[in-house]
Amino acid sequence: MNKLVVFLVATLTCSAWADTLTLKPGHPQTHVVQKGDTLWDISALFLDDPWRWPTLWGANPQIANPHLIYPGDRLTLVFVDGVPRLVRKPVVNLSPTMGVKPKGGAVPALPLSIIEPYLSFQRILAPEQLEGTPRVMGGERQAVGYTKDDVLFVNDELQIGDRYGIYQDGRPLYDTDGETLLGLEMELAATGQVVESGDTSRLKLLSSRQEVIAGQRVMPITDSTVLPAYFLPHAAPKGLMGNIIATDAKAVEIGPLQVAILNKGSNDGAKAGQVFAIHQPGTELIVDEDDQDKPYRNPEDRRAYDKVVALMSDGRTVVLPKVYRGELMVFKAYDNVSMALVVNGRHPARVQDHVLAPDPLVFGSKRD
């Protein structure tokens, strides 16, 4: 009974610590929002855990919607019932109406210059979503490749005036088992508008990032295609865990302000704005009590006998603790995968790393 009481007290105490918002040492009392600031940057001025800014701003009716923060606004740190909050003094437009007016665009969650290529028309689609998509047959101009102002032939009846993207098939994205296909990257080659409709429609290219060739896919550009630039960063839910399965740079290892692809999508509950902690999974070691010089060995050093012993699970293996690498924020969730930006990196993030809900840094604790 006494053990149960102690356990409950410890649990409640830890919960209270996790709910306590700890300000960053040396934080400013005020900050004037600058052009180019992001919500993550601003929160990082005040908090060691920038993903906790809903707590910092959530109870303040002036900043109930962080999308209303604009360059020129003055943010001031105050305490409400002992809890730190930010209050906003908006920039004043000295016009005849003397109204309070936003100056410039609202502050985004992440740097637009980095995520903008993904905010426009880039896609990751499940294989079944590609079935029956129209294809480029060729063009009015006899050529192998087509660019801006060329007119293409498309093997489907398309609505005159509608805008389409022309896509080149990219790499397949597999889950950590290497077998389950989660999606196909679609790389935007060009955009165009339908100028003639029929069994074979004509599409005039409005822009091109690369040459268009016969066989590429033609898919409509809709409001749902363009990603929102403004969302509220927040901690991922505790039960949502996954892995980095690829990087946009097609590299095994990436750092801050680079894009990772996760094996969790909207079907799993992933949403734009969720922040995950990145952890290197614990390395499994072989315990060899007969080798006094090298009692622990990496899996790469295993003998055939060691592998058999590991499979028998007789206690001769040990797994090292996981290592905290940093944090990333989801900015686009597809059906089965998500794209996320590394926003904080203590160590480089690697393909196969685990991602899970972040823990608050309290009382000088260390994540790794």
Q: Is residue 14 pLDDT above 70, yes or no?
A: no
For the chain, counts of helices (H) and of strands (E):
5, 22
Domain boundaries, the chain: 2-107, 121-220, 234-282+321-356, 284-319
Q: Is the pLDDT of residue 309 over 60?
A: no
Cα 321 to chain centroid, rounded: 25
Report the alpha-carbon angle 172-123-138, nearest 5.
85
Q: What is the reported pLDDT for 2?
A: 45
Yes or no: say if 71 and 104 are a contact pair by the CB < 8 Å rule.
Answer: yes
Give the amino acid at 255: G
What's the mean pLDDT in 203-231? 83
Grouping H, G, I as helix, E, B as strand and the rest as coil, residue 114 is helix
Q: Write out pLDDT tens, residues 284-303.
A: 777 766 555 555 555 555 55
pLDDT at residue 96, as a whole number: 46
Contacts of 292 (CB under 8 A, 6+ apart): none
Answering whether pTM is above 0.85, one says no
29-76 confidence digits (pLDDT tens) = 999 999 888 888 888 898 888 877 777 876 444 554 545 688 888 999
pLDDT tens-digit series, residues 223-245? 555 556 667 788 999 999 999 99
Mean pLDDT, range 297-311, rounded to an integer:
55
CA 44 to chain centre: 18
Collapsed DSSP state (helix, strand, coil) of residue 100: strand
> CATH code for 234-282+321-356?
2.40.10
